[in-house]
Structure 1
Amino acid sequence: MRSGGKRRAAAAALLCALAVLLLGACGTQVAGQGGPTPSATALPWTLSAPIGITSATLSADQRTVTLAATVPSGPKPCVRNLRAVLTEPVRNTVNVQVTYDSPAGDRASGCTKTTTAKARVKLTEPLGKHELAVGYPGTVFTADDAPLPALRLCGDLGCTPPATGCTTASYEQAVYAVDSPAHTYRDAEHCDGKWLVLDLSWRTGPVCGDQADSACTSRLGDRWFYQAEESGWKPFFRTTEGGCQAVQDREPAFPTALCASLEPLAPSLHPNHSR
């Protein structure tokens, strides 16, 4: 009897153990409710480029550049593997590409703010007179006339914009300064080196080859007035009116010799020069 009792007790213990394992494997579900909640899916980290490059500094031997890059930030890590590498040089330009990995493409990452991070790149030779272009389209820096060790950030007209004067290159700078539409035409220039008037126009009709067709030559236009500054021609007034009254109301020092003969801009203008 004792031997049989022990066998029954052992069998009962085995059944209990099996029941525990089965219950653990199946979980405990309540009718009307789903199974266990799956864990949240991790956000992907993708290769990215900086939002912007704000400054560049050059080492004393001109062989290392430190770049300040604007990158995403948030309550959790938003940037890793920040790096700057040299790419294929072009003419007198050293090209650098800055990249990093980030989950910022998904707003759920929380990377909705920005911060500044530094990346360094070793040049193959001293920068010298070469320009440094970072990214594409490039943010361009130069050591020429720069307050070293900081490099000078070049503008939209390049690192050596044309000097202000009564020249074609200077007029191009003036057209650019007013953010005119693409394919803007310079119809007339009146310049004395300190003051400038440009009559500008641009097509409004369809693109076609028959210039006799008014639909192809229909134009809108503006007359811009500029004053010379160290950075180039600075626009300060525009109008379609003729004469001096409007511009001299705005700037009494504007010379009468440059505005007295100005006619009001006609609704339809004919091009002399193209931007």
Structure 2
Amino acid sequence: MGRSRTPLRRSKLALAALVVAVTTAGCARGPGAGDGASGIPDEVMLSSEDLGGATISTGGPDAIHPLPPRPCASATVPATPAGSKTVPATPATPAVSATVPASPAVSATGPASPAVSATVPAPPSGSAQAGPDSPEPVAERTINATVGQYRIYEYVARYPAGLAEEAMDVLRDELSRCRRPADGEDWKVLAEDDAGLLLLRSYSDGDASAAYYVGLAEDHLVAVLVIGTRTPNGDPTTAAGLGSAALARAGGTRETPVPPASEADPTDWNIYQAEVTGVRRGPDPRTLLIDVELLAGHPDCARNPRTDYYTEENGMIYANVVLDSARADVRGGCPSKVPGVARLTSSTPIGARVVVLNNEPWAPDGTGYRRCDPNLGCTPPADHCDPTWVLAAMKGMDVPRNSSRNVEGCDGAWLVMTLNLNSTQCGAGGRPGCSAPPAVYRYFMRFEEAGWRTVLRSTAPGCGDVLKVRADFPPALCRTLPAPG
């Protein structure tokens, strides 16, 4: 309040310079960069599959973005003139910077843009990542990738037993003491879970932001940083989704951080149904972890996936899976999706009970759960001639749903069924003055892995037509049948 802001034109030019610097920084090795030889194996790190097929490189971010985050190690650095660049000062020098000449910037539209004022983390003492009050990791590694409009960085450090928690405690302490460590900079805890924190760091007088997720997975400290490539803003929803995936890779529990209950939020958030993509066993017999898709692309797209309207009836568990969003109804406001996790906790062990989420049943299947078939249920009848299988077949056919049917023959592998497609043209029971000519056809069907599939439709008597296309069709099911109709 009361602080003079940079004129609009200059501010935009400065931010453009910052975005260029951020986008290119990951191409070189940065602090904490490493590879498999660093002591952190590939399987502990995010994979290309986790990042939508993106190519992964080794290296950390530029000095503007500390990784892992260190709120108390920041100090304001004056803007440097165009044609120079800011680099970290030598180790063991607290919160300072140095500038070295750089090649003149070349622009098709005019002279180089002035560099933006930014905060630079103080060079650490000891490890390339540890702060003066933080324990030393025994191994650390940093990777990066570009995913759409974001640059993603992951940092993983392994500590001696018990010291990863101490490193996390140092971060929490710094967030409480140094929420605003420098003019124009602010660190905010957006959400938290049992494993860690979702953070948003605002800087450059609030015109730029970086999103972090930092969490514990056994003896590992895992940190994911998301910054923009086309704009100077990271996405907390993306950081939360990739953070939960990174925890799972490092041996932790994959969950989604939720906002602190006490934090006031003036944004107009509303409740929406979440899209459930998977269900798995939780860390104890009473808990399930529910994988969901979260809207992403803006900090207000989605948060707090959770279960709601929970009840247990007739040996089954029912719950709605919902999330909060302030932009779900904004056209183009959330252009992407990221994974998230909601937690379901029962008062008793869940065991082999079916779980109905958003009116869709899920049944135990090995170590996880499978989505039940909407027509066959969770336990399809063993008898393929059961009416449940026949009705499911009709729903998959291009016929009126309420067509009258007559099963002429079935042996579990082959089915003969006659349908009148015009049986309900005049409504149930008919209407006065309404008549519809019959449209009766005989369907010859074969049972496959997914259910009954049509081999042939015919209006002829007997088996002549079907035997022309399937010589193995059993004649006993159709030999004596008259023409349908």
TM-score (norm 1): 0.66
1:79-115 deviation per Cα after TM superposition (whole angstroms, max 9, x unaligned): 0122123522232210111111221211142x13333
Which residue of 2 is the match for residue 100 of structure 1? 323
Counterpart position of 1:257: 476
Please list, as runs of the form range in 1=range in 2, the aligned pairs for 1:209-228 lying within 5 A after superposition: 209=429, 215=434, 218-228=437-447
**Cα offsets for 1:19-42 (capped at 9, x unmatched):** xxxxxxxxxxxxxxxxxxxxxxx9
Aligned length in residues? 216
What amino acid does structure 2 have at the position aligned with 1:199? T
Are the structure 2 counterparts of residues 115 and 185 from structure 1 closer, same or farther at C-alpha, using a change threshold of 3 Å? farther
Whether 2:351 is the aligned partner of 1:128: answer: yes
Equivalent of 2:270 in 7, 26, 46:
46
Does the Cα contact within 8 Å between 1:186 and 1:200 map onto a contact in 2? yes
Gaps of 5+ in 2: 1-265
Change (3 A) 1:62 1:219: farther
8 Å CA contact retained: 2:463, 2:478: yes
Question: C-alpha distance in 2, partners of 1:165/1:260?
Answer: 22
Single out whichever of 186-195 and 62-71 deviates more from structure 2.
186-195
Summarize the Cα distance change of 1:206–1:241 in structure 2 as closer, same or farther, 3 Å threshold: closer
SS at match of 1:88: strand
Question: Which residue is 1:239 aligned to?
Answer: 457
Q: Distance in 1 between matches of 2:300 and 2:316?
A: 34
Structure 2: how far apart are the matches of 1:169 and 1:207? Answer: 24
Secondary structure of the 2:351 match is coil
RMSD: 3.0
Match of 2:360 in 1: 139
1:248 is aligned, of 467, 478, 482, to 467
Given the superposition, is the C-alpha separation of residues 197 and 60 from structure 1 closer, same or farther in structure 2, using an over 3 Å criterion? farther
User: For structure 1, which segment, 81-90 or 162-171, has the greater mean C-alpha deviation from structure 2 after superposition?
Assistant: 162-171
Aligned residue in 2 for 1:70: 293
Q: Which amino acid aligns with 1:151?
A: Y
Deviates more, 1:244-253 or 1:192-201: 244-253
Aligned pairs for 1:1-275 (under 5 A) are 44-50=268-274, 52-59=275-282, 61-74=284-297, 76-85=299-308, 87-102=310-325, 103-109=327-333, 111-135=334-358, 138-143=359-364, 146-148=365-367, 150-156=368-374, 157-178=376-397, 180-202=399-421, 203-207=423-427, 209=429, 215=434, 218-229=437-448, 233-242=451-460, 243-266=462-485
* Structure 2 counterpart SS, 1:78: coil
> Residues 118 and 187 (structure 1 numbering): CA distance in 2 closer, same or farther, change over 3 Å?
same
The answer (yes or no) to whether the contact 2:394–2:401 under 8 Å persists in 1 is no
Quick one: higher RCO (CA 8 Å, sep 6+), 1 or 2? 1
The change in CA–CA distance for 1:114 and 1:260 in structure 2 (over 3 A counts) is: farther
Give the letter aligned to residue 122 of structure 1. T
Question: Does the 8 A contact of 1:86 with 1:94 survive in 2?
Answer: no
C-alpha distance in 2 between matches for 1:204 and 1:64: 48
Q: Tell which structure's C-alpha radius of gyration is larger.
A: 1
Give the CA deviation at 1:208.
6.2
Contact 1:198/1:225, CA 8 A, preserved across alignment: yes
The equivalent of 2:218 in structure 1 is none
1:191-235 deviations in whole A, cap 9, x for unaligned? 123211111224343226468x7835644344322223455x421
The one-letter amino acid of 2:329's match is G
What SS class does the counterpart of residue 105 from structure 1 fall into?
coil
* Whole-angstrom distance in 1 between the partners of 2:366 and 2:428: 51
Distance across 1 between alignment mates of 2:455 and 2:394: 13
CA distance 1:222–1:57, shift in 2 (3 Å): farther
1:24 maps to what in 2? none
| Pair 1:247–1:76, CA change in 2 (3 A) | farther
Structure 1, unaligned runs of 5 or more? 1-41, 267-275
Q: Which structure 1 residue ranges, 4+ long, deviate > 6 Å from structure 2?
A: none
> 1: distance between equivalents of 2:283 and 2:481?
55
Q: Which piece of structure 1 moves more, 156-165 or 215-224?
A: 215-224
SS at structure 2 position matched to 1:107: coil
Q: 1:142·1:153 contact (CA, 8 Å) conserved in 2? A: yes
